[in-house]
Structure 1
């Protein structure tokens, strides 16, 4: 079932809600620059296992509204709060991939984990996606600036290049085309503005220290986007966190090792 949640007077967020009668709920937050459909292989299997799977499209992406402003982590986390409140969710698992994982971290810290009893970080872009003087493990600043420039000049080519580095396992050309289309459904300005927040605003070192709920970290060791040392930093900074490395996965571990991914997530939730 799909519907919209109003998060501002003129901004609505699209939500896909599967197996609504289940008491075990997972709210998925997708990564940049895709949308909730990237979790297709979780929705199919986990719903059959008895879980309620909710996917939301972040503002600017997928079927959500695409305003000009509002792409910092605070605003995106506030959108998550609006969705959780509108759906009256309680004791859920919040699962975020890549930038969605960063938003999930900010949500738990900013909103004190409202409605959330467990956190799953899936190749999360935390504590910092880019390299900093005190954190040398992320992407190079110039590479992110190139992504932003390419977004404004040839977004389809940028998306294709990003997709080519996303998965570790072999993907078919039809699958590659499908994944490419997910990125095209976003607005160009939201695609660029979220990337811009990686550079100048968003770091999550303090946020991670405020997380008190059980946290599962799933991360591919071949990840070329959010390098594996990010997962190790998450494990070190988040109390009560468990790290599960994925030896045959890149950034797209939700597909690369989807059976293991779903099993680990289900085992964590219980």
Structure 2
């Protein structure tokens, strides 16, 4: 299914089940298919599950503009308005978590009952004088240079780290290939622009203004979004937020720790 967002871009979404809505926002470079292990779980328990292919990803159109977090937030708002969703549980993974946070800052909490930041790249990644926990700009530039030089190789190397396979997680070569095919299907232009925008965006002030129930889920061995830079700092900023740390999880915990994640999200939604 498709809808048009604020600038006329046609975006794809999927809508399953009936009941209280849960909107899943995918990770950078991935699309709706990444939630394969969450959507059936929640629809079978009486929830309506909606997920969005952001612009430049999946089945959505690939314009040359709109790869900043304000545009991402406005695209989410357009989807919620299109379906007139209310009492929503908003779940965002990685960059999807940053987009969910930006949605709350720009569009408020009227339609949102609760938010879950899963492996989210929050609150602020860039090293600055007032953000000594951040990462140097050189880290961004090194990744972008590798990305521009050999994008398939860059994603191939990241896949092992993504799933923390060195810890013995049962992730098959076929599953890793499935992840890589999703990443490679996204627009190179879109993924690069969004990567840069996410690295440079400061969410610290807006996170302090969140007043709805907030769950932060993060892997303690997440190499893509180190927990000391992201999850542990996020939970200190959001009033009343709860942190669930998975000691052996990397960034791709929606696969490696699917049962634990689903159970924690279900408990959060029911509460």
Q: TM-score, normalised by structure 2?
A: 0.93
Q: Which position in structure 1 is the counterpart of 2:214?
A: 215
Q: How many residues align?
A: 265
Match of 2:252 in 1: 252
The more displaced of 142-151 and 49-58 is 142-151
- Aligned partners of 1:234, 1:154: CA distance in 2, in Å? 33
How big is each residue's C-alpha offset from its partner over 1:6-43, in whole Å with a ceiling of 9 and x where there is no partner?
A: 00453111101111xx2221101111111111111001
Q: Would you say the 8 A contact 2:6–2:78 is kept in 1?
A: no
Aligned-residue CA RMSD (Å): 1.4
CA distance in 2 between partners of 1:162 and 1:129 (Å): 18
Q: 2: CA distance between counterparts of 1:216 and 1:263?
A: 13
1:4-23 equivalence runs, <5 A: 4-19=2-17, 22-23=18-19
| Alignment match, 2:182 | 182
Residue of structure 1 in register with 2:203 after alignment = 204
SS in structure 1 of the partner of residue 46 of structure 2: coil
Query: What per-residue deviation string (whole Å, max 9, x for no partner) do you get for residues 226-270 of structure 1?
Result: 111211111111012111111221111111111010010011001
CA contact (8 A) 2:124 2:199 kept: no
Unmatched runs of 5 consecutive residues or more in structure 1:
none
- Is this contact kept in 1: 2:90–2:112, CA < 8 A? yes
Quote how far apart the aligned CAs of 1:145 are.
Answer: 1.4
Instruction: Report SS of the residue matched to 2:36.
Output: helix
Q: CA–CA distance in 2 between the matches of 1:253 and 1:48?
A: 21
1:87 Cα shift? 0.6
Matched, 1:25 2:24: no
* TM-score under structure 1 length normalisation: 0.94
Q: Which residue of 1 aligns with 2:68?
A: 72
Query: Can you list the C-alpha shifts for 1:182-204, whole angstroms capped at 9, x where unaligned?
Result: 1011101001101111344x110
Is the CA contact (8 Å cut-off) linking 2:95 and 2:198 kept in structure 1? Answer: no
Please give the alpha-carbon distance, in whole angstroms, between the structure 2 residues aligned to 1:181 and 1:57.
15
Kindly indicate whether the alpha-carbon contact (under 8 Å) linking 1:17 and 1:52 is maintained by their aligned counterparts in 2: yes
Corresponding position: 1:59 with 2:55: yes
Gaps of 5+ in 2: none
Report the counterpart of residue 41 of structure 1 in structure 2. 37
Q: Is 1:108 matched with 2:104? A: yes
